[in-house]
Amino acid sequence: MAEHDTTPNLAQKLGLAPASLAALIRLGDTFYDQGALGDARTVFEALVLFNPKLVYPQAKLGAICQHEQKQAEAMDWYGQALALNPKNPYLLVNRGETRLNLGQLEEAAADFQAAIAEDAAALNPAVNRARLLAAITREALALAKEQGVEAFLAAKKRLDDQLQP
C-alpha cells in the first residue's frame, strides 16, 4: 500500500476551506479571461503555494506563460502539473503546443499522440485540436528532416504572421 503524505499544506495550516480556494480559482480565471495576466499569475502562484498538489493552478500558470511567450517557463508549469496528472489530455496538448513553439517537434508529436490515446471517442475538443496539430507536426518533422529545423521555424513564423489580426 502506498504511503500518503500527511503533512498539511499551507492552505490547511492557514485554515483555508476548499470553498475559499475555489473562490480564488474563480478570481484567477476572471483575471485571465479579462487579459489581466499579471493579476491572474499572482492568484494562481498563491494557490500553488497554498496547495502544491492542485493541478489546475499549475496548468493555468502554464497557459499564462504561453500567452506571454515564456515557453520555457510554460514547460516547467506543464511538467509539474503532468507529474500530478500524467494522462490529462488538456495538459498534454498544451505542453505539445509549447514544445511545437520551441521547435521540439518529436516531443510535441509524442505529447499529441499521448493526448489522442486518452480520447479514443474523439469527443474532447482539445484532443481534436491535437489530432490536427499531430498531422501538422508530422509534416513539420518531414520538412525539418528534409531542410532542417530552421526551415520549419521560418515556415511557422510566416504562418503565425498570416494568422495575426
Q: What is the pTM of this model?
A: 0.79
- Using CA atoms, how far residue 99 sits from 44, 62, 74, 75, 143, in Å, is 22, 12, 10, 8, 17
Whether the predicted pLDDT of 106 surpasses 70 = yes
For the chain, how far is it from start to end, CA to CA, in angstroms? Answer: 55
Of 57, 1, 4, the residue nearest 32 (C-alpha): 57
Q: What is the DSSP string of 9-70?
A: -HHHHHT--HHHHHHHHHHHHHHHHTT-HHHHHHHHHHHHHH-TT-HHHHHHHHHHHHHTT-
Lowest-pLDDT choice from 77-81, 110-114, 147-151: 147-151
pLDDT in tens, 10-26: 666 677 777 888 899 99
pLDDT in tens, 53-77: 999 999 999 999 999 999 999 999 9
CB count within 10 Å of CB 92 equals 26
Higher pLDDT: 121 or 114? It is 114
Side chain identity, residue 93: V
- State the average pLDDT for the chain: 86
Contact 98, 75 (CB under 8 A): yes
Whether the predicted pLDDT of 92 surpasses 70 = yes
